[in-house]
Amino acid sequence: MPHYDAAAEVVLAELAGPEWALQENQRTVQEEDGACRYSPGVWNADQALEGVSGGEGWDALAERLDPVLAEHGFGDLGAPERSGALYSVRSQDAHGAELVLDAQGRLALRGALVDAETCTPEALGL
């Protein structure tokens, strides 16, 4: 599913500074409630995101990322959400894929609905 890799690449390019690494073991294809879902993976940075602190700085980040996300079929990043001490923003595309970016430097893409006869990595050409 090169579409999602391309979306991740352009987002990460906008977040220049840290080194990003794809966690290959987070790339999955699985059946959930009779639907086949593809999760492209998780990319981790070697440092926290620059320019954001707590709930601050996310608007400027969204200004840079929203146009890039739109080119790849994703909606605008929402307001930052807090889970414990960690803040993150998220976006979704028409196939149910969710993109989550957190302040610690973690980008996760997960849950894209795919049309496959068999819900296996091989069926998706992975």
With 80 as the cut, is the pLDDT of residue 3 above it?
yes
Please tell me the distance from the alpha carbon of residue 69 to that of residue 8, in angstroms, as a whole number: 9
**CA quadruple 99, 23, 35, 79: dihedral, nearest 10:** -20
Please tell me the distance from the alpha carbon of residue 106 to that of residue 18, in angstroms, as a whole number: 11
What single letter denotes the amino acid at residue 49?
L
What single letter denotes the amino acid at residue 13?
A
**What's the whole-model pTM score?**
0.92
User: pLDDT digits over 69-115, tens only?
Assistant: 999 999 999 999 999 999 999 999 999 999 999 999 999 999 999 98
User: pLDDT digits over 34-80, tens only?
Assistant: 899 999 999 999 999 988 988 999 999 999 999 999 999 999 999 99
